[in-house]
Amino acid sequence: MLRTAYGFISESELVDPFCPASPIDSLPSHEFANCPTELSPKLAYFAGYFFGDGGLKNVERSYLVSRRREYKMIIADEFESQMMFIQSLYSDLFGDCPPIRYERLSKGERTLYINPTSKRVYLFLTVLFELPCGSKTNSLHAPAVVWNAPVELQRWFLRGLFDAEGDTRAVEGGFKSAPRVKIRMKCIPFIREVKSLFESAFGLKMNGPYLDPNNVSAYIQVERFSDIVFLAENHLFLHPVKQWRLAKTAEKLSLRTQRF
Give pLDDT tens digits for 148-198: 999 999 999 999 999 999 999 988 878 878 999 999 999 999 999 999 999
End-to-end CA distance of the chain: 39
Q: How is domain 2-259 classified at the CATH fold level? A: Endonuclease I-creI (3.10.28)
Mean pLDDT of 123-144: 91
How far is Cα 32 from Cα 118, in angstroms, rounded to an integer? Answer: 11
Q: Taking the domains of the chain in order of start, what are their residue ranges?
A: 2-259
pLDDT at residue 47 tops 60: yes
Q: Give 28's pLDDT tier (boundaries 50, 70, 90).
A: low
pLDDT digits (tens, 9 = 90+) for 7-16: 455 555 555 5
Dump pLDDT digits (tens) for 201-249: 999 999 999 998 888 899 999 999 999 999 999 999 999 899 999 999 9
Q: What is the pLDDT of residues 73-128, one digit of tens each?
A: 999 999 998 999 999 999 999 999 999 999 988 888 889 999 999 999 999 999 99
- Asked if 45 and 58 count as a contact pair (C-beta separation under 8 A), the reply is no
pLDDT at 5: 39
Q: Is-contact 133 58, C-beta < 8 A?
A: yes
Crossing angle of helices 80-94/41-53, nearest 10°? 130
**Per-residue H/E/C for 162-224:** HHHHEEECCCCCCCCCCCCEEEEECCHHHHHHHHHHHHHHHCCCCEEEEECCCCCCEEEEECC
pTM: predicted TM-score of the whole model, two decimal places: 0.89
For residue 6, name the pLDDT band (cuts at 50, 70, 90).
very low
The pLDDT score that the predictor gives to residue 255 is 79
pLDDT at 3: 45
Q: CA-CA distances (angstroms) from residue 132 to 105, 159, 163? A: 28, 21, 20
